[in-house]
Structure formats: C-alpha cells, structure tokens
Amino acid sequence: MVEIHDLHVRFHGASREAVAGIDLTIRDGEVVGLVGESGSGKTVTAMTLSGLIERKKVTLSGEVRFDGRDILRLPRAELRAIQGRELGVVFQEPMTAMDPLMRIGPQVEEALAVHTQLTKEQRRARALEALRDVDLPAPEEIYRKYPHECSGGQLQRVMIAAAIVTDPHLLLLDEPTTALDVTVQAQILALLRRLNRERGISMLLISHNLQVVRRICSRVAVMQRGHIVEEGTPEQLFTAPQHPYTAELINAIPRRVRRG
C-alpha cells in the first residue's frame, strides 16, 4: 500500500509549490489514475513517490509511505533496494528512456543484475519470460535487437517487461500510451489490465487523458496547480463532476469520444 500524506514539493527558486499538500492512497492491487494538464504536478508526484526526484533541487515535506516505509526519509541504500525491485517505473518515451547502444535483453535484465543473485543464464531466462508476459512475438529476436530496430508499441512493451521482471508491488506509469496510435494504445491498456488482474500489481497511472484512465482505473484523482481538487470513480467524475476543473477536462473531450 502507498499512502501519501500532506506532500509538499517546491523546486528551488520556483514561485509556487509544484505539489501543494496532497493526500493520496493506492491500495494493494488497485489501479489509480492521476490526471491533469501539463504543469499540474502529477509527474512531480510520481517522481517523488519513486524516489527519482533530485532532492538537492527541491524542498520536500510530508510523508510518502510505501509498504510502511517513508520514501522521503529512507537512506539512499534502502531507497535503491526498493527502486526496480519492489517499485517499477514505465516512462512515456521509451526511445529516450532506453540506452540506444545496448541490446534489449541486457536492459530488461538490469534490475535482476542489481537486485538478485541470479546467474547470467537465469537472468536471460527471466527476461525472456517477461518479454513473453507482455505479449511480444518472437521474444528471442526482440531480446537481441537494439531499441531503434523496434516499433514504438514494441518498445513500450519492452519497458513494461523491464518494470515487471522483478515482480514489483507497484508500477508507476507516466503517460505510457501518449506516443502511440489508438490501436496500440488500446492493446497496451489491455495488457496493463491483465497484469493487474493476474499478478495483483498496484498501479499509479499518470495521464492528461481522462478517456485512458476511464478504461483501466478503479479510482481517479484530478490534479490542478499542485492540488488534488477531486477524487472518485471514473463514472462518478464523468457523470457528476463536482469541481469546475474536472468539468473543464471532460468538456474538452470531443463529444463522440466521450460517449465511447
């Protein structure tokens, strides 16, 4: 379980807080959406939760408890033991997130090399299993390829495989379908639903797209200028939004898409 309580994040020199005292809970096995326009603070929230935010550049206060441990106050060694093993991250631009000079296989295996005592052969077997788990055809071929030899949809699946290879408790997904066409986007969302259902992995899905979170999340928090202004099920937000900003986000969706 993740419990964020009264989280404040301010970048040094900034005129306002990027995150201004939010509270958010992600229960075991739950998929929670965090939505808002660019600059609302949702990615900063995810970066803080993952421990990837550069602490020397920000002032932090509050609590971010991951299975009872406060991420904000953990020693670096303990935080690194969580990152990549118990907590996986999937970024929105896999081509820029992945090393273009490394083959796919070693990049999927990286967390195993850091966090386990598996042999090289065992890591390779686990990586191939993860590539199969994300429905990549011919995983042995993908394993040997470089990132530029794969399509955008394939690379997003590779990123998910790398994130789940250690069987984490939580996945942080930062706009994982933004760069994909509609058909591939639907396939990735179906894959995430299956992983949640079959493995019980909790997920925090960061998105500006209410339609995306509606298809996969059981609960959605709406973020504006560092504040969570509304929270509820997707249907509650779509049928009876309580905050004007939520209503603006919904009204921005083309009517025909909104009904889909």
Residue written as token pair 């326009």 = 37
Lowest mean pLDDT among 90-94, 200-204, 219-223: 90-94
Give residue 234's pLDDT: 93
Q: Which two tokens stand for residue 9?
A: 């994040």
Phi/psi region, residue 68 (left: phi>0; alpha: psi -120 to 50; beta: rest), is: left
pLDDT at residue 97, as a whole number: 81
> 116-151 pLDDT, tens per residue?
999 999 999 999 999 999 999 899 999 999 999 999
- Residues contacting residue 235 through CB under 8 Å, at least 6 positions apart: none
The whole-chain average pLDDT of the chain stands at 92
Residue 256 has pLDDT above 70, yes or no: no
For position 84, what pLDDT does the model report?
Answer: 86
Query: Does the pLDDT value for residue 252 go beyond 90?
Result: no
| Cα–Cα distance for residue pair 116/80, rounded to 1 Å | 13
Convert the pLDDT of each residue in 53-85 to its tens digit. Answer: 998 999 999 999 999 999 999 998 899 889 988
Of the ranges 30-34, 93-97, 99-103, 228-232, which one carries the lowest mean pLDDT score? Answer: 93-97
C-alpha distances (whole Å) from 18 to each of 21, 43, 182 are 10, 10, 31
Q: Could you tell me if 245 and 39 are in contact, meaning their C-beta atoms sit under 8 angstroms apart?
A: no
Q: Supply the pLDDT for residue 210.
A: 85
For the ranges 89-93, 116-120, 156-160, 188-192, the lowest mean pLDDT is seen at: 89-93
6-56 pLDDT, tens digit each: 999 999 999 999 999 999 999 999 999 999 998 999 999 999 999 999 989
The pLDDT > 70 percentage for the chain reads 97
Position 255 pLDDT exceeds 90: no
- Please tell me the distance from the alpha carbon of residue 36 to that of residue 16, in angstroms, as a whole number: 17
Residue-range domain boundaries for the chain: 93-167
Average pLDDT (204-231) is 93
